[in-house]
């Protein structure tokens, strides 16, 4: 009988998840926006309800007619004032902006409401239950929620299929430009969609708040539950959303029935299984308006990307006289007669040589530092190196491969825990760091097959889910210290100064390897292929780039680098805990560094990480407001200055310390003279950076 | 003069697509813009429709400068466009496409039933998804969709593109009915003879510049050919 009870509970839990998913899939369907702040918005509503209840003593139910309209208004203006700037600006921008937004919301809530758990009382209905034959008790509140979910989903279906605003949403989703020509103010239509989404997720937040306790950090779980529901159910059908919620609900309750701590993990695992066997979702309608529009838009993007890719290839090939672009690397400085124009192809940019020498000198100086600097400086420098490595890896994926991951903390944590495991089994720590990185890279192979089932914003959240699953597994392994973590005891007999110096040198070696490795990777054919994939996966594929292979190599290198960074951190701090080793905030830091420095350049993340480390060193004591400011900075940078600080510098000086592209200079009247070929040089640079 | 484009230029980034174009469309007349691929014809129409803003010069509609008027407000003023390539909303039915066209409708003769009357064929498909239509049917829906707003100025971009001559003929036959409904037509064509046949006045663009204009009846084929290709045969 317990099992029947569990199954009924699981089905009803699906109602909550469907409510979380509704707005997420609506916003994605109408404007292809993956809103990473979706869960945070649900929490805002729940906390507003808490505040109202606390202030007036009103029933939680009565907060609904106040909070829901307010959420709709907030959603509308959020879209008008902020998110519309990201629509059409590419998925990188929208992912970064909404992620920044979720960080801001989470930390403001932490500041205002503290980290304590809160709950909402559903009143008498919250405790009442229906007695079914066979001694089965089912809570009224869960039944009500399930019915509300059905009403919301059918209502939304009616709105999109039957009303004028629904028609406008579908038209704007199909073809925003033509919609404008028909007199449709698409910005308003988008804002209405977000308003509806915000109201539904506010409803979800308050209902779930009456069901389970929540804290300011629950938003991430809400987002992941909603996202898993959407993917399991499949886009394009409302009943798919409900069914997806039910499957997730069943997975969580059945998992919890087997082991009380495993409910959420079971949900993640079922999601991953669906991803492997049926990535389009279990119940996808197939011909849904939303999916059709998405497919069309992907196709429409091809001609433009083909054009830019062709430009990149042909200008590369011209320098190498028809050689494959990768070969042109061997012909630095080759001069070719082409249409009577003498063209010069160079890989070195301004400052490449002198910059390279300076960097070499810098590494040598850094190498001698342990003899000169104090232990705290050395400790901090290792932390900074780790940050530089992490930022470079995130940038390799997002800036070159177009893969925005919010789950690189998985590899960071795995690297740390692998080192712990190896060290516990007698492997020396210094060997262990390198081994841990390698093992992390190996573990990343099967993970990549899972993650590559998803694209764009969905890839971002999918990698996050994978990271959460690993986190939950690790934190339940008592041999690794369980949820409270463990210490690296192997180094306790070491002289502290010597230990720090050794850690520092290993960190420096790994730093040089990481940046040098990324540079080497991007300079070759694979780098060109990756950049093409970033601009358009379909076009790159059709031109013969081995898309899967190139992406996988980048993913594995990133895993390797993050694993090394995690292992280094353990060697530096001597302790590790799952909640910090698998903390999504780590990825947030990587994103900040890359955004500040400049996405899609090798120099950018290095500069960004150094600046960010300084900011963190001086201001992180300001607690959550510091994170709020960082979130705001990320949003502003993503919208206003997407090329970052290094982008600003290169735009003025054409400096290039790590030249991975090609530069064309026309030399009409003899070598050395810069002619009118600024345009092609610009377009090549644009495609490689 | 319902529309005048005065010394208007347009840029895409650093690339200049139009150079100080002057164009006048008197109310009730049919004006055609011809030119080869990349001559700037579609850019000119997009500028009038508000998708591209002029980098210099201005667009004046019914005496009012359109600077700062966003594209989505122009249908309500009486400007409607049939975009190149038809650009129907594929996940919407034919009827829904027409309804979107009438979203900002002005009062006038065109509504669902009069559009169905003009193009009897599309009435039969009204509940089909527009993505499943043939090229000629889709073009008829695209024209009907623009008419639904009861435009005073109808912009037709390459109606004949990719369609069989017999279909093109049928579509152009509808032009009389459209003009009778009170719309002035400005059309862009690559098919010179088609343009000469329907237009009162012709403008010829070459690489972003207006190189020839005159009454359709007064232009010789040689003049047009020279202006079209920028060279004599």
Q: What is the pLDDT of residues A227-240, one digit of tens each?
A: 999 989 887 677 88
Q: For chain A, give the percent of residues with pLDDT over 70.
A: 86
The pLDDT value recorded for residue A312 is 43
Distance from CA of B70 to the nearest CA of A (A): 9
Asked if the C-beta of B220 comes within 8 angstroms of chain A's C-beta atoms, the answer is: no
- Per-residue pLDDT at A302 exceeds 90: no
CA angle B36, B42, B45 (to 5 degrees): 135
- Per-residue pLDDT at A573 exceeds 70: yes
Residues 6+ apart with CB under 8 A from A349: A654, A655, A656, A657, A659, A663
- Per-residue pLDDT at A672 exceeds 50: no
- H or E, element range at B19: strand B15-25
Q: Taking CB atoms and an 8 Å cutoff, what residues of chain A touch B101?
A: 182
ipTM entry? 0.94
If one compares A367 and A682, the residue with the highest pLDDT of the two is: A367
The pLDDT value recorded for residue A340 is 53
Distance from CA of A274 to the nearest CA of B (A): 27
Count residue pairs from A and B with Cβ separation < 8 A: 74
Out of A183, A186, A289, name the one closest to residue B149 (CB). Answer: A183
Question: Which stretches within chain B are classed as H helix?
Answer: 41-49, 74-77, 94-101, 112-118, 120-124, 135-147, 165-173, 175-180, 192-198, 221-229
Asked if the C-beta of A175 comes within 8 angstroms of chain B's C-beta atoms, the answer is: yes
And the tokens for A400?
């070159």
Q: What is the pLDDT of residues A344-379, one digit of tens each?
A: 677 766 677 887 888 888 888 888 888 888 888 899
- Per-residue pLDDT at A280 exceeds 90: no
For chain B, domain boundaries: 3-229
Q: How confident is the model at residue A641 (pLDDT cuts 50, 70, 90)?
A: confident
The pLDDT value recorded for residue A469 is 95
Q: What is the pLDDT of residues A446-493, one digit of tens each?
A: 999 989 988 888 898 899 999 999 999 999 988 888 888 899 988 887
For the ranges A122-126, A338-342, A518-522, A631-635, the lowest mean pLDDT is seen at A338-342
The pLDDT value recorded for residue B38 is 85
- H or E, element range at B212: strand B209-215
The pLDDT value recorded for residue A305 is 42
Distance from CA of A384 to the nearest CA of B (A): 40
What residues pair up with B32 in beta bridges, in sequence order? B187, B202
- Per-residue pLDDT at A291 exceeds 50: no
Q: For chain A, give the percent of residues with pLDDT over 90.
A: 51
Distance from CA of A640 to the nearest CA of B (A): 18
Q: Taking CB atoms and an 8 Å cutoff, what residues of chain B touch A32?
A: none
Query: For residues B126 and B135, is the Cβ–Cβ distance under 8 A?
Result: no
The pLDDT value recorded for residue B229 is 81
Q: Taking CB atoms and an 8 Å cutoff, what residues of chain B touch A180?
A: 50-51, 70-72
CATH code, B3-229: 3.40.50.300
Strand ranges (E), A21-109: none
The pLDDT value recorded for residue A29 is 87
Asked if the C-beta of B74 comes within 8 angstroms of chain A's C-beta atoms, the answer is: yes
Residues of chain B with pLDDT under 70: 232-233
Q: How far apart (Å, rounded) are the C-alpha atoms in residues A688 and A524?
A: 11
Task: Give me the DSSP letters along A175-194.
Answer: -HHHHHHTT--HHHHHHHHH
Interface of A with B in 245-304 (CB under 8 A): 289, 292-293, 296
Out of A170, A175, A182, name the one closest to residue B103 (CB). Answer: A182
Q: How far apart (Å, rounded) are the C-alpha atoms in residues B147 and B112?
A: 10
- Per-residue pLDDT at A292 exceeds 60: no
Q: How far apart (Å, rounded) are the C-alpha atoms in residues B24 and A374?
A: 79
Query: For residues A447 and A418, is the Cβ–Cβ distance under 8 A?
Result: no
The pLDDT value recorded for residue A96 is 87
Asked if the C-beta of A173 comes within 8 angstroms of chain B's C-beta atoms, the answer is: yes
Q: Taking CB atoms and an 8 Å cutoff, what residues of chain B touch A183?
A: 72-76, 103-104, 149
Is B91–A177 a contact, with Cβ atoms under 8 angstroms apart? no
Mean pLDDT in residue range A587-593: 90
Domains annotated for chain A, with CATH where assigned, are: 2-217 (no CATH), 302-347+661-688 (no CATH), 352-653 (1.10.3470)
The pLDDT value recorded for residue A543 is 84
Is A183–B131 a contact, with Cβ atoms under 8 angstroms apart? no
């Amino acid at each position: 009988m317990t099992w029947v009870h569990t199954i009924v509970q699981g089905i009803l839990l699906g109602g909550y998840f469907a409510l979380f998913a509704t707005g997420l899939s609506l916003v994605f369907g109408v404007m292809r926006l993956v809103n990473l702040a979706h869960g945070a918005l649900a929490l805002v509503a729940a906390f507003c309800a808490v505040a109202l209840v606390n202030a007036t003593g009103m029933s939680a139910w009565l907060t609904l007619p106040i909070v829901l309209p307010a959420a709709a208004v907030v959603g509308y203006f959020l879209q008008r004032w902020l998110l519309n700037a990201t629509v059409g600006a590419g998925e990188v921008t929208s992912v970064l902006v909404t992620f920044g937004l979720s960080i801001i919301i989470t930390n403001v809530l932490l500041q205002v409401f503290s980290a304590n758990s809160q709950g909402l009382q559903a009143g008498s209905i919250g405790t009442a239950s229906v007695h079914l034959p066979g001694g089965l008790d089912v809570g009224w509140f869960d039944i009500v929620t399930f019915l509300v979910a059905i009403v919301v989903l059918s209502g939304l279906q009616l709105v999109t299929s039957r009303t004028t605003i629904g028609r406008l949403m579908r038209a704007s989703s199909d073809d925003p430009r033509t919609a404008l020509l028909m007199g449709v103010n698409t910005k308003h239509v988008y804002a209405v969609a977000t308003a509806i989404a915000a109201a539904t997720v506010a409803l979800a937040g308050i209902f779930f708040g009456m069901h389970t306790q929540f804290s300011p950090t629950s938003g991430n779980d809400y987002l992941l539950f909603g996202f898993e529901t959407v993917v399991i159910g499949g886009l394009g059908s409302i009943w798919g959303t409900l069914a997806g919620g039910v499957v997730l609900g069943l997975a969580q309750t059945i998992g919890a029935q087997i082991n009380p701590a495993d409910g959420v993990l079971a949900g993640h695992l079922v999601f991953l299984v669906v991803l492997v066997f049926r990535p389009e979702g279990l119940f996808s309608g197939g011909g849904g308006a939303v999916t059709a529009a998405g497919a069309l838009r992907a196709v429409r993007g091809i001609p433009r990307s083909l054009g830019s890719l062709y430009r990149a290839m042909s200008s590369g090939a011209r320098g190498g006289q028809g050689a494959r672009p990768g070969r042109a690397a061997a012909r630095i400085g080759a001069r070719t007669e082409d249409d009577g124009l003498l063209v010069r192809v160079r890989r070195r940019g301004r400052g490449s040589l002198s910059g390279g020498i300076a960097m070499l000198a810098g590494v040598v100086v850094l190498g001698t530092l342990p003899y000169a600097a104090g232990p705290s400086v050395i400790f901090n420098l290792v932390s900074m190196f780790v940050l530089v490595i992490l930022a470079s890896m995130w940038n390799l994926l997002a800036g070159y491969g177009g893969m925005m991951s919010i789950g690189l903390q998985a590899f960071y944590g795995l690297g740390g825990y692998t080192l712990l495991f190896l060290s516990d089994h007698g492997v020396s720590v210094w060997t262990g760091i390198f081994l841990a990185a390698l093992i992390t890279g190996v573990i990343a192979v099967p993970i990549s097959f899972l993650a590559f089932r998803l694209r764009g914003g969905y890839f971002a959240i999918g990698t996050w889910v994978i990271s959460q699953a690993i986190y939950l597994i690790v934190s339940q392994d008592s041999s690794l210290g369980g949820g409270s973590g463990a210490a690296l005891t192997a180094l306790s007999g070491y002289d502290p100064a010597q230990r720090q110096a050794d850690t520092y040198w290993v960190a420096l070696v790994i730093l040089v390897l990481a940046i040098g490795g990324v540079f080497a990777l991007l300079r070759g054919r694979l780098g060109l292929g990756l950049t093409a994939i970033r601009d358009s996966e379909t076009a790159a594929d059709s031109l013969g780039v081995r898309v899967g292979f190139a992406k996988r190599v980048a993913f594995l290198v990133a895993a390797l680098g993050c694993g090394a960074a995690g292992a280094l951190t353990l060697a530096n701090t001597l302790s590790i805990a799952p909640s910090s080793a698998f903390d999504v905030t780590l990825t947030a830091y990587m994103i900040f560094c890359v955004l500040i420095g400049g996405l899609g350049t090798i120099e950018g993340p290095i500069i960004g990480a150094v600046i960010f480390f300084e900011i963190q060193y001086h201001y992180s004591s300001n607690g959550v407001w510091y994170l709020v400011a960082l979130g705001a900075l990320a949003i502003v940078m993503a919208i206003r200055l997407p090329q970052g600080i290094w982008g600003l510098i290169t735009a003025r000086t054409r400096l290039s310390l790590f030249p991975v592209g090609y530069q064309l200079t026309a030399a009409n009247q003899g070598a050395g003279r810069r002619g009118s070929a600024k345009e092609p040089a610009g377009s090549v640079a644009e495609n490689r950076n | 003069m319902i529309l005048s484009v005065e010394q208007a230029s347009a840029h895409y980034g650093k690339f200049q697509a139009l150079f100080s174009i002057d164009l006048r469309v008197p109310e009730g007349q049919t004006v055609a813009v011809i030119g080869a691929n990349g001559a700037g014809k579609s850019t000119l129409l997009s500028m009038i429709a508000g998708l591209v803003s002029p980098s210099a010069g201005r667009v004046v509609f019914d005496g009012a400068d359109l600077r700062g008027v966003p594209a989505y407000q122009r249908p309500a003023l009486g400007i409607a466009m049939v975009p190149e390539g038809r650009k129907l909303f594929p996940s919407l039915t034919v009827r829904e496409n027409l309804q979107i066209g009438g979203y900002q409708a002005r009062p006038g003769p065109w509504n669902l039933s009069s559009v169905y009357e003009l193009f009897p064929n599309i009435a039969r498909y009204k509940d089909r998804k527009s993505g499943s239509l043939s090229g000629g049917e889709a073009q008829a829906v695209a024209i009907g969709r623009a008419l639904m707003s009861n435009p005073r100025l109808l912009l037709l971009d390459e109606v004949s593109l990719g369609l069989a001559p017999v279909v093109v003929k049928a579509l152009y036959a509808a032009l009389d009915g459209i003009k009778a409904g009170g719309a002035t037509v400005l059309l862009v064509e690559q098919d010179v003879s088609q343009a000469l046949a329907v237009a009162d006045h012709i403008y010829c663009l070459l690489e972003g510049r207006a190189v020839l204009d005159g009454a359709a009846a007064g232009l010789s084929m040689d003049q047009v050919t020279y202006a079209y290709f920028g060279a004599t045969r």
